[in-house]
Structure 1
Amino acid sequence: MSNRGLVSIIVPCRDEERFLAACLDSIIANDYPKDKLEVFVVDGESRDASVVIAESYARRYPFIRVLQNPGKTAPAGLNRGLRCAEGDIVMRMDVHVSYPPHYISTLVDWLNRTGAGNVGGICITRPANDSAIARAIAIALAHPFGVGNSYFRIGTSEPRWVDTVPFGCYRSEVFRQVGLFDEELVRNQDDEFNLRLIKHGLGILLVPDVASYYYARESLSRLWRMYFQYGYFKPLVARKIGGVLTVRQLIPAAFASSLIVTGLPAAWFFPAAIASGLIILAYTLAIIACAARVVPRHGCKPALALAVVFPVLHLSYGFGYLKGIMDFLVFRNKSPTNAIKVPLSR
């Protein structure tokens, strides 16, 4: 591996004292030559001990540096790191994730072998703790009923060209070619950037022989907030790129819309009440079928918790998407509302 070039790793961080050390330990344990690494922990004015932890690692490992991100958001942190990066290859690595020892070298090999614009691996979702809700959240985020055909979440048995991957691995030259991350997009900035890559003829490759381990949010409130934000920023992405990236992003919004359209007049219009009931019944039966298949592997409590987790996941995204349509497509707001400007971590 001595002939491999310098890799710049950018780790956006804010209020992540619980996960930061494990993330950095997994990066340090990678088999890529340490004299060919530079790691930037870009801190968005953390209010906890994240900076203290990051600086303690920087003192022990000369290839780790701590940068300040006054913009606080993920795209601002990524761009701050990109402006300091000197590597021929740039990787985004998020704090809520741990990485296997071959992660960096394998993605670099695939990038060099294929000439792709971005290469990423599958993302295996793990619960934040052992509670039934946390375990159910992890199950839902890796289930086709929860996330559709998002292959990096549900897995793939062979390399495939996709619309996005997590924690991308890029040649640094692509940022000179297509620009930096869009700082208006608190969420979904990687989706929008990847579409710019595709429009420039640079493919996005998902490879199955490398996986990262993502620790999901532990509570329903945190899940709701995160996926509301994901849905909210999708219409802004669509406005910027001139179209919808994938059909799967429309389904939660369609579901939420159907509940509104049939539910509001249901009290006085009997056909609307029937339609609303049928929609809810079909959705409930789908959840029951999914939960039944989960029981043998995960047990009854997480399976029962899916009855709450799936609706929170789908409705938060769906209602966020509808609000985004109103803000960005109907009223043509130029930037997100202040209420949506929230932390940067996944």
Structure 2
Amino acid sequence: MSAAEPPPRTVSVIAPCRNERDHIVDFCRALTAQHLPDGVTLEVLIADGRSDDGTRELLVDWCGRDARFQVVDNPGRIVSTGLNRCLARARGDVIVRMDIHTRYASDYIAQCLAALQRSGADNVGGPWVAQPATPEGWPAAIAAAFQSRWVAGGARSRDRGYEGEVDTVYLGCWPRASFDRHGGFDERLVRNQDDEHNLRIRRAGGRIWQSGRIRSVYQSRSTPGQLARQWRQYGYWKPFVMRKHGQAASWRHLAPGLFVGLEGVLLLASALSDLALAGFIGLGLLYALAVLATAVLVAREAGWALLPRLPVVIGLYHLAYGAGSLQGWADVLRGREPDPAFGRLTR
């Protein structure tokens, strides 16, 4: 979609969901409050993954009262199959992916369209901004650590003010022609299907664009256990993306697994070698110091009351992702199909 092209007439919002009874009505209500450019109409396709908590009934009721909304059946129950089911039904010139647990500025869609027009990119989106369920305790520490580029290995996706090209982007907004050129989402992937799709676009010469004017907030996990399960899943699915394309999207996707793997090797070797034991302890101490320094940097911005919890949270982000990566590589190298256990909901 170049600057010379006219604005779209129809925008299709696609959103996968499963067992979102407590959030689905708020999500639909928020979409009706979007301020769209003149002449642009909206259609909303929500792929329900066979919810069994009352979500489906709430959706059917809402769609019966607002013809812009449609329920799309998603028997595959995962994000990628739901997105593709929505794409098959979408009529829009532009496709906007949205998430049920994210809150959006009232001009979110309008800013997505403006960024497409401005950049001519194949996919645009805003920064990934975390908001805790409560402003203190574990939820606040998890959100604060998530927002730190130090924790994320320098990922620009956490930078609220950045405008420019990126490796991948939160959610996404595409000209319909982008899917015609690059295809839909890989249904073999339960997680990381967005990263894989963006990698596919870039390998074909396309561009991914981030704009701080596209504003939304994502509700991060609330407990250490939820966080560990979430990032272990992210780590597990990354090797399957790498196997498909023969490369990582970024070095930061490799670092946690390499660290956890090296520490594991040193620990096993320490039974036979004092040098290996010294290496295990030394590397562990260096990492602990780095975590403590990062915790101080995060607490200085987010509040010192979070400091006691931040080292635990930062460690979980890295170590859970690294452990998941090693499990993913083990299955990839043995030629196994992905373990269904790594597709379960983590909230």
The verdict on a shared fold, with TM-score over 0.5 as the criterion, is: yes
Distance in 2 between residues matched to 1:13 and 1:283, nearest whole Å: 38
Confirm whether residue 169 of structure 1 aligns to residue 193 of structure 2: no
C-alpha deviation, 1:341, in angstroms: 2.9
Distance in 1 between residues matched to 2:41 and 2:32, nearest whole Å: 12
Distance in 1 between residues matched to 2:114 and 2:297, nearest whole Å: 37
Q: RMSD of the alignment, in Å?
A: 2.0
Aligned residue in 2 for 1:93: 98
Letter of the structure 2 residue corresponding to residue 60 of structure 1: R
Structure 2: gaps spanning 5 or more residues: 1-5
The more displaced of 9-18 and 51-60 is 51-60
Number of equivalenced pairs = 341
C-alpha deviation, 1:268, in angstroms: 4.4
Letter of the structure 2 residue corresponding to residue 337 of structure 1: D
Letter of the structure 1 residue corresponding to residue 339 of structure 2: T
Letter of the structure 1 residue corresponding to residue 186 of structure 2: D
Aligned residue in 1 for 2:284: 280
Distance in 1 between residues matched to 2:205 and 2:312, nearest whole Å: 41
Paired residue for 2:307, among 272, 289, 303?
303
SS at match of 1:90: strand
Aligned residue in 1 for 2:3: none
Aligned residue in 2 for 1:338: 340
Structure 2 counterparts to residues 202-241 of structure 1, below 5 A: 202-241=206-245
Letter of the structure 2 residue corresponding to residue 70 of structure 1: P
Letter of the structure 1 residue corresponding to residue 133 of structure 2: A
Structure 2 counterparts to residues 39-50 of structure 1, below 5 A: 39-50=44-55
Confirm whether residue 322 of structure 1 aligns to residue 322 of structure 2: no
Structure 2 counterparts to residues 120-269 of structure 1, below 5 A: 120-157=125-162, 159-269=163-273
Letter of the structure 2 residue corresponding to residue 142 of structure 1: Q
Q: Following TM superposition, where does structure 1 have runs of at least 4 consecutive aligned residues deviating by more than 3 angstroms?
A: 154-157, 294-301
SS at match of 2:270: helix
Conserved 8 A contact 2:34-2:106: yes
Distance in 2 between residues matched to 1:298 and 1:170, nearest whole Å: 34
Distance in 1 between residues matched to 2:302 and 2:194, nearest whole Å: 32
Conserved 8 A contact 2:8-2:40: no
Aligned residue in 1 for 2:72: 67
Aligned residue in 2 for 1:12: 16
SS at match of 2:47: strand
Conserved 8 A contact 2:151-2:294: no
| Identity rate, percent | 35
Structure 1: gaps spanning 5 or more residues: none
Conserved 8 A contact 1:124-1:212: yes
Conserved 8 A contact 1:26-1:100: no
TM-score, normalised to structure 1's length? 0.92
